[in-house]
Chains A and B, each alone.
Chain A
């Protein structure tokens, strides 16, 4: 009798502990796996950096993805013609040594760096640049395998589309390339620095019939080794890298640990060296840990709730405005960002030029919201779905909990929302296809230009599946302003155009802009040379591990 009693208590406690430990259980095993490949890590003399993150990459072809988790890795393998100084959006030379634009702004000439080789040993030259651009811009190119959403959204379509601004890419000589534009295009140079326009090895593209999602070969400091889906991506040092003495690391492992807390635990126990996606609530813990350092990524993003404006009932602006009045952003930001975010009013981050800071946000007003819903024909609300990302994003550290908060706010005006989640790649795909009614998503700016937010996320050019404009927001007036701003080269005038566009967007309310965050990252004190990138794709070129 006594024995069974003890057994029962023991079983119950053990089960409870097992259950409570569930979330953490994945961390040590994942970490061990990472250490296993690193061959003892730093102790054996080879320097391995393990980067912990919340989600896996979608593809390792930077031209054919839109998500930060893919760029985070391709940034290390590939290089662009120009790039940003770490932590800023200032342009600096990379694969191009210098460049010039014709006085009418229609011709851009880039002089390429000599002596650079791809990781497969082939030469980097003008042919390679032309080959890559042809692959992206020409739908009939045999190697145009994919959606190439970024190319279309930055340059206004593909070859043959009326909106395409990039007319031709020509080889002038072995190390000179010329870009011909249809009209002056202000964001051009900033765009060229984006990780999606990185130059891949033509031989690699040919060898794999255009599909290099899992066979990336670039000129960057690290080479691709292996990819275990939803677990880790391993890169090793490119021994023939053109910048002598770099990189410092011998190996980089991108380890997926979905749960924020488990990821932090793995960092604290030394299994990871850097982590992104820190719960804001844990910032204090990191600051007080003598073995850890805290990094703050420059705030350059927006987290938002997008309505599918093509679907009922969200095609009615009154419904969208009502929801804007129901959601208490400030409460959400205060509760889930621990001071590391500001409530968003407009799509553009408040510090970016072109943002209209005079716009006053919709007040939180349940009575008014109910009235608007009633006018729209939904006096008792309606049932709908609220899609939420499965992974922590820099602009939203805990999408599921923020979704629950929004769900509760919506309940107050009679809208019953069911929270729906898919895995990250599926989520992106389904939202791009417009299968959602309402979805949470966000954007980390990648070139410091308002165009990169407003045109990419809210222009009608990008409202066709697969869309970056997941609100499927179409307003000809906004389109007119945004495309005009692209052609204008005077920044003052451009800023005015963007402000006008923002005012219209604000009234049309295709989104509920939620927050602009300052995402925290944490690293072991041993890591040096790390500068968090404003784009979210951190350069690991200069990173080293001490001791």
Chain B
């Protein structure tokens, strides 16, 4: 991880004047990433799910919420490629639209926790003192709870619903990112180029956002990629418990919990959302792992 610092260190002095090294770091990482088959498979899965999520309305043969009780729990057929669920809704269409919901929760909750976590971590790490004590202790308290329990508590307060589930997942992940960036900031702020900036009289905000933050977020990218997988899983768990997406929304966790009563009669409607959850989480994990290796200079 330290290898990018000398290069990055060169840029702050004359921002914008000498950018190639920074680009080459990403280029190099990409070259390394490409060599890892697992990461590429993971990336492929991720891209596939993103495409599915974006194009769900075009791909889905039916409206995912249209019920047809007379044709419920049907086995795979030409009309319904993955059969129908307990309310006669097309399982495939629900899965495709479900990708949209899960990815939305995954991306946006991670972005939210990333932004908040990064800001808090930056403040805690850079300024230290009572700000650090306060923020770090709050993080400790939050991390003391099993994350899903904390999410359930948050949803219980906010009320069940997809947006509140997203918020809950975002909140529980804030400390993960906050701590990560705090530890990076602690080491970055000791660097000579930071000292140089200070000596030049650079304003604190410019120093933070132009120099400290850009040099601290490489591990965050890895963590965020892995975090999307976790967030999807957390959201599915909330949905499973009836605290996330509300009916008739085709959310995978909710689909799984609705279908579980029929596991002996119609196992395919349980398997389908389960596999979708597993695959998407697997995709993000593989890709995140690969990314970590690619960005880690020791792996060269």
Which A positions have Cβ atoms within 8 angstroms of B?
A: 1, 4-5, 8-9, 11-13, 15-16, 19-20, 22-24, 259-261, 279, 281-282, 285, 328, 331-332, 334-335, 398, 400-401, 403-405, 407-408, 411, 418-419, 421
Classify the interface of chain A: helix, strand, loop or mixed.
Answer: helix
Residue ID in chain B nearest A14 by CB atoms: B278
How many pairs, one residue from A and one from B, have CB atoms within 8 Å of each other in the complex? 101
Assess whether B285 is in contact with A335, with CB atoms less than 8 Å apart. Answer: no
Q: What are 26 A-B residue pairs whose CB atoms fall within 8 Å in the complex?
A: A1-B38, A1-B293, A4-B38, A4-B289, A5-B289, A8-B282, A8-B285, A12-B282, A13-B278, A15-B233, A19-B233, A19-B236, A20-B274, A22-B241, A23-B240, A261-B261, A279-B261, A281-B262, A285-B264, A328-B69, A334-B69, A404-B247, A407-B247, A407-B248, A408-B67, A408-B248
Q: Specify which chain B residues have a CB less than 8 angstroms from the CB of A19 in the assembled complex.
A: 233, 236-237, 240, 253, 256, 274, 277
Assess whether B69 is in contact with A405, with CB atoms less than 8 Å apart. Answer: yes
Q: Judge if B105 is at the interface, Cβ distance under 8 Å.
A: no
Once the chains are docked, how many angstroms separate the CA of A446 from the CA of B66? 38
Q: Judge if B88 is at the interface, Cβ distance under 8 Å.
A: yes
Q: Specify which chain A residues have a CB less than 8 angstroms from the CB of B246 in the assembled complex.
A: 418-419
Q: Judge if B150 is at the interface, Cβ distance under 8 Å.
A: no
Known contacts A22-B240, A418-B246: A282-B253 contact under CB 8 Å: no
Inter-chain pairs besides A5-B289, A334-B70, 17 sampled, C-beta below 8 Å: A1-B38, A4-B293, A12-B282, A16-B277, A19-B274, A20-B260, A20-B274, A22-B257, A259-B261, A261-B260, A261-B261, A332-B69, A335-B69, A401-B258, A405-B67, A405-B69, A408-B87
Nearest 4 pairs of A and B residues by beta carbon = A331-B69, A16-B278, A12-B282, A335-B69
Tell me, rounded to whole Å, the shortest Cβ–Cβ distance linking A258 to chain B. Answer: 10
Residue ID in chain B nearest A261 by CB atoms: B261
Once the chains are docked, how many angstroms separate the CA of A295 from the CA of B242? 30
A9, A11, A401: the one contacting B86 at CB < 8 Å is A401
Residue ID in chain A nearest B241 by CB atoms: A22
Interface string of B223-257 (1 = CB under 8 A from A): 00000010001001100111000111000010011
Once the chains are docked, how many angstroms separate the CA of A4 from the CA of B42? 12
Known contacts A281-B261, A404-B248: A335-B233 contact under CB 8 Å: no
Q: Specify which chain A residues have a CB less than 8 angstroms from the CB of B261 in the assembled complex.
A: 259-261, 279, 281, 398
Q: Specify which chain A residues have a CB less than 8 angstroms from the CB of B262 in the assembled complex.
A: 281
Interface string of B109-139 (1 = CB under 8 A from A): 0000000000000000000000000000000
Assess whether A5 is in contact with B38, with CB atoms less than 8 Å apart. Answer: yes
Once the chains are docked, how many angstroms separate the CA of A86 from the CA of B233? 49
Residue ID in chain A nearest B258 by CB atoms: A401
Which residues between 11 and 51 of chain B lie within 8 Å of chain A, taking CB atoms?
Answer: 36, 38, 42
The listed residue with most B CB atoms (<10 A of its CB), out of A331, A332, A335, is A335
Tell me, rounded to whole Å, the shortest Cβ–Cβ distance linking B177 to chain A. Answer: 20
Interface string of B92-115 (1 = CB under 8 A from A): 000000000000000000000000
Q: Judge if B270 is at the interface, Cβ distance under 8 Å.
A: yes
Tell me, rounded to whole Å, the shortest Cβ–Cβ distance linking B132 to chain A. Answer: 32
Once the chains are docked, how many angstroms separate the CA of A23 from the CA of B86? 17
B36, B236, B285: the one contacting A12 at CB < 8 Å is B285
Q: Specify which chain A residues have a CB less than 8 angstroms from the CB of B247 in the assembled complex.
A: 400, 403-404, 407, 419
Once the chains are docked, how many angstroms separate the CA of A230 from the CA of B242? 18
Q: Specify which chain B residues have a CB less than 8 angstroms from the CB of A15 in the assembled complex.
A: 233, 278, 281
Assess whether B87 is in contact with A401, with CB atoms less than 8 Å apart. Answer: yes
Q: Judge if B77 is at the interface, Cβ distance under 8 Å.
A: no
Assess whether B38 is in contact with A12, with CB atoms less than 8 Å apart. Answer: no
Residue ID in chain B nearest A24 by CB atoms: B260
Q: Specify which chain A residues have a CB less than 8 angstroms from the CB of B65 in the assembled complex.
A: 408, 411
Known contacts A1-B293, A334-B70, A421-B242: A9-B282 contact under CB 8 Å: yes
Interface string of B62-73 (1 = CB under 8 A from A): 000111011010
Tell me, rounded to whole Å, the shortest Cβ–Cβ distance linking A432 to chain B. Answer: 22
Q: Specify which chain A residues have a CB less than 8 angstroms from the CB of B233 in the assembled complex.
A: 15, 19
Tell me, rounded to whole Å, the shortest Cβ–Cβ distance linking A407 to chain B. Answer: 6
Which B positions have Cβ atoms within 8 angstroms of A?
A: 36, 38, 42, 65-67, 69-70, 72, 86-88, 229, 233, 236-237, 240-242, 246-248, 253, 256-258, 260-265, 270, 274-275, 277-279, 281-282, 285-286, 289, 293
Once the chains are docked, how many angstroms separate the CA of A418 from the CA of B274? 26
Known contacts A335-B88, A400-B247: A1-B36 contact under CB 8 Å: yes
Once the chains are docked, how many angstroms separate the CA of A438 from the CA of B56? 33
Known contacts A15-B278, A404-B247, A405-B87: A281-B36 contact under CB 8 Å: no
Q: Specify which chain A residues have a CB less than 8 angstroms from the CB of B293 in the assembled complex.
A: 1, 4
Known contacts A335-B86, A404-B87, A419-B247: A16-B274 contact under CB 8 Å: yes
Once the chains are docked, how many angstroms separate the CA of A151 from the CA of B86? 41
Once the chains are docked, how many angstroms separate the CA of A421 from the CA of B160? 10
Tell me, rounded to whole Å, the shortest Cβ–Cβ distance linking B176 to chain A. Answer: 16
Q: Specify which chain B residues have a CB less than 8 angstroms from the CB of A421 in the assembled complex.
A: 242
Once the chains are docked, how many angstroms separate the CA of A407 from the CA of B89? 14
The listed residue with most A CB atoms (<10 A of its CB), out of B38, B258, B274, is B38
The listed residue with most B CB atoms (<10 A of its CB), out of A8, A11, A23, A334, is A8
Once the chains are docked, how many angstroms separate the CA of A439 from the CA of B89? 24
Q: Specify which chain A residues have a CB less than 8 angstroms from the CB of B281 in the assembled complex.
A: 12, 15-16
Tell me, rounded to whole Å, the shortest Cβ–Cβ distance linking A133 to chain B. Answer: 42
Q: Specify which chain A residues have a CB less than 8 angstroms from the CB of B264 in the assembled complex.
A: 282, 285
Q: Specify which chain A residues have a CB less than 8 angstroms from the CB of B242 in the assembled complex.
A: 400, 421
Assess whether B263 is in contact with A261, with CB atoms less than 8 Å apart. Answer: yes
Tell me, rounded to whole Å, the shortest Cβ–Cβ distance linking A443 to chain B. Answer: 24
Once the chains are docked, how many angstroms separate the CA of A411 from the CA of B69? 15
Assess whether A23 is in contact with B67, with CB atoms less than 8 Å apart. Answer: no
Known contacts A331-B70, A335-B88: A11-B36 contact under CB 8 Å: no
Residue ID in chain A nearest B230 by CB atoms: A15
Tell me, rounded to whole Å, the shortest Cβ–Cβ distance linking A409 to chain B. Answer: 8
Assess whether A8 is in contact with B88, with CB atoms less than 8 Å apart. Answer: no
Tell me, rounded to whole Å, the shortest Cβ–Cβ distance linking A35 to chain B. Answer: 24
Q: Specify which chain A residues have a CB less than 8 angstroms from the CB of B258 in the assembled complex.
A: 401
Q: Specify which chain B residues have a CB less than 8 angstroms from the CB of A260 in the assembled complex.
A: 261
B70, B87, B260: the one contacting A23 at CB < 8 Å is B260
Residue ID in chain B nearest A279 by CB atoms: B261
Residue ID in chain B nearest A419 by CB atoms: B247
Once the chains are docked, how many angstroms separate the CA of A545 from the CA of B24? 77
Q: Specify which chain A residues have a CB less than 8 angstroms from the CB of B289 in the assembled complex.
A: 4-5, 8
Q: Specify which chain A residues have a CB less than 8 angstroms from the CB of B236 in the assembled complex.
A: 19
Tell me, rounded to whole Å, the shortest Cβ–Cβ distance linking A113 to chain B. Answer: 46
Q: Specify which chain B residues have a CB less than 8 angstroms from the CB of A20 in the assembled complex.
A: 256, 260, 270, 274
B86, B229, B237: the one contacting A22 at CB < 8 Å is B237
Q: Specify which chain A residues have a CB less than 8 angstroms from the CB of B274 in the assembled complex.
A: 16, 19-20
The listed residue with most A CB atoms (<10 A of its CB), out of B36, B65, B246, B260, is B260
Residue ID in chain B nearest A421 by CB atoms: B242
B42, B66, B86, B285: the one contacting A408 at CB < 8 Å is B66
Assess whether B265 is in contact with A281, with CB atoms less than 8 Å apart. Answer: yes
Q: Specify which chain A residues have a CB less than 8 angstroms from the CB of B237 in the assembled complex.
A: 19, 22
Once the chains are docked, how many angstroms separate the CA of A529 from the CA of B246? 43
Tell me, rounded to whole Å, the shortest Cβ–Cβ distance linking A195 to chain B. Answer: 30
Q: Specify which chain B residues have a CB less than 8 angstroms from the CB of A400 in the assembled complex.
A: 242, 247
Tell me, rounded to whole Å, the shortest Cβ–Cβ distance linking B31 to chain A. Answer: 16
Q: Specify which chain B residues have a CB less than 8 angstroms from the CB of A16 in the assembled complex.
A: 274-275, 277-278, 281
Once the chains are docked, how many angstroms separate the CA of A15 from the CA of B253? 12
Residue ID in chain B nearest A409 by CB atoms: B67
Once the chains are docked, how many angstroms separate the CA of A400 from the CA of B257? 12
B69, B88, B279, B285: the one contacting A11 at CB < 8 Å is B285
A8, A24, A335, A408: the one contacting B286 at CB < 8 Å is A8
